Structure 1
Amino acid sequence: MTDTIFALATAAGRAAVAVVRISGPRSHDIVTALCGRPPAPRQAAVRKLRHDGVVIDEALVLRFEGPASYTGEDSAEFHVHGGRAVVEALLKALAELGARLAEPGEFTRRAFENGKLDLAQAEGVADLIDAETEAQRRQALGQLGGALSQRYDRWRDLLVQALAMLEAAVDFPDEDLPEEVAERARPGLRQLSAELDAALSDVSRGRRVRDGFRIALVGAPNAGKSTLLNGLAERDAAIVTDVAGTTRDVIEVPLVLGGYKVLLGDTAGLRETSDAIEAEGVRRAKAWAEDADLRLWVVDGFHVKQAEHRPDAIRAGDWLILNKADIADAANLAAAADQWAGQGLSVLRLTGKSEEGAATLRNALALHVAEALSGAEFPAATRLRHAERLVEAKCYLERALSDVGLEVELAAEDVRLAARALEKISGRIDPEDVLGRVFSTFCIGK
């Protein structure tokens, strides 16, 4: 028989109200034991909670009968005063009445197992709890509402239609079927292949909304990277001195720009050095910059004409920040801007230590991040797990298209495997260890 579980659903610590949840077959009996007279289902009522003849608290109690509950089974909530002693007394009473403390994510896992949510929606619950920005909230709420699952279900339906034609050709070769029935599957498979290509080209957007858009400040020592970081963060997040090589490790600062989460990284100055510690800092700087979504090459505008530093790892979309524009020669800055703009960089001239310069860069970055992460369609993947299954489905689909008309049996099997890959995202079929990894990321009480 399934255990009855309990957990504190609100944050630990002193608060006005704390919510304790229970779920499982003994929920109604436990509510009766604590309240004496349980409230009607789905109706809140004030009750004194007693255990072993001692009053624990006067609480607001709600009871839900399965399957019309979050978990799909009998459950209840106790809204008690948020003092630590009250909460601990209630949790102790629940344990003595036969319930056990829930594992992380166990409430949502029961909702999944009882068909209240699919796996993608369950992940949306976790993302909604963790949401720090408006964009993360919108994306998580859309995923919880089924936007992701509906997209995968439509793709799966296209595969099922194609599979029906292929299997008809395999199973009934002598029946009076239309000629080239297997070939009729090809247009639908091609359409799906094109949609998967579009989805895979956009696959990182959902994860960047969820995890943060990474921006790296890179360049030579004393170019003003740490000053820019402090200006963008509007606080002294990094130490700023005239000594070259002050920054030895990557300093990461989370920001919200344009409603999106951003992770800004101040890196060690790039130069050849015999100092082992600084050399390790340069190595880490290059690694962090390589994985960044946007790199800001910061150049000292005052020495721009004499500087030998030239970004040697430029990639399309990088920005060049000509810093210290207030003390630099205007003609030199203009020449440098023309030179680097011709190499595919977006160029900004500013003074990083001034409020105006930091505000200019912040506004430009906010527009860039919003443009990069916004989209008309809901992203096809919000986690690495989703992206991996999309790649798997695409590989099977390409193989199926190459086999249609030649080896129909093999094509049918590949279409079947592509459908299974999509089903794994919503959790229709998924191994136990995958479920364990997904739900272990939840907080206890959800």
Structure 2
Amino acid sequence: MTQHAPSQALDERELLLKLFQAAVTAVDPLQVVGPALPARPQQGRVIVLGAGKAAARMALAVEQAWPVQAPGAEVSGLVVTRYGHGEATSRIQVLQAGHPHSDSASADAALQMLALAGSAQAEDLVIALISGGGSALLSLPAEGVNAADKRQVCAQLLKSGAPISEINCVRSQLSAIKGGKLAEACGAARLLTLVISDVPGDDPAVVASGPTLPSHSTPALALEVLQRHRIEMPDSVRLHLLRSQDLSPAQVKPVAGPREVKVLATAQMSLEAAAAVARQHGLLPLILGGSLEGESRDVAAVHAGIARQIRQFQQPVAAPCVILSGGETTVTVRGNGRGGRNAEFLLALALSGADVPELHALACDTDGIDGVEDNAGALLSPASLARAADLGLSAADHLQRNDAYHFFKALDDLVVTGPTRTNVNDFRAILLR
């Protein structure tokens, strides 16, 4: 992670980075997966399936909890994660595929996973390891849907500013594996789904579009989302959604075997871990919530307003304090710049909160990747706007072009962690001393 002198700024930066590290550590799969596993079966097989940015580390956690030499059923399986997010597992194969845009490796992974699930017998235990990012990583078009058409629709949705719940609603309806279809393939086998949640509200059926859980989505709802966001629908997509509306309940395959789901890690857990560290450093934590949604710029303006109220009136808490929040904001792409939603949040906060004295902030994605960039997020200090002006940079211009990445890169204020191999979405901290 980037660090800086002088000493006054270094103290604030170090503390913000420490809060972020605590947030990530609290939801590390190696911490949360093992305790959630049942007793190791003594007969049959343990088949591990998984998808998401945390999938490989979740698989490693299963291997560590159930080592080769320990008695019990054989453990094997297959998970898919984003390129660069793998782990050195020995019994569970790790595939890597494209994110946020699916590629041919995503479809290959889905086909292999469906085949492995289909091999499960009634005496077997199937463990599904599901985390954010799985929607793109486990992508197999439904029958009749052209793969390129599906990618085109999803790419438009990602740029539209639609919330993740609506994007996943469409994805599940256009998929041959999401929305519970992987569970159908498991037949009579016992199925345990372990979830690391990256969605506001932590509904496990929404994470990765719920490959092992019944979908809340319907074809009609998917059509409404696409129409409301003015997404151009190729013929194969439109016809599939229209035909799917006519399916009767009898045409939907029943789920046969025992099913159980556990949510292991959430944004709230990250925020509480950061709050504990804040208290240790004499700061009063104000947790706004782990499920905040909305346009990054609008969410930043609200945060700036809360910081202003604290400075002026000591409400709802008094400084020294830290404002903490999580969830997933969105960015409606208007320009051709670079930068994820966390960097955009910070740049908008710099402008909205320019009148708030001594405002320090950090905004990062807990998976270590802000959008498609190489940074987790960025840091903001009271001097950021002045330093940028000295370099001839206009914060307003960069925000207009959705170019927060280059703004913070020029200031050497990007936070670069590399993949964390977990994912409970965004983490934001505003420090007021």
| TM-score, normalised relative to structure 2 | 0.22
User: Which structure features the higher share of helix residues?
Assistant: 1
Q: Which has the larger radius of gyration?
A: 1
| TM-score, normalised relative to structure 1 | 0.21
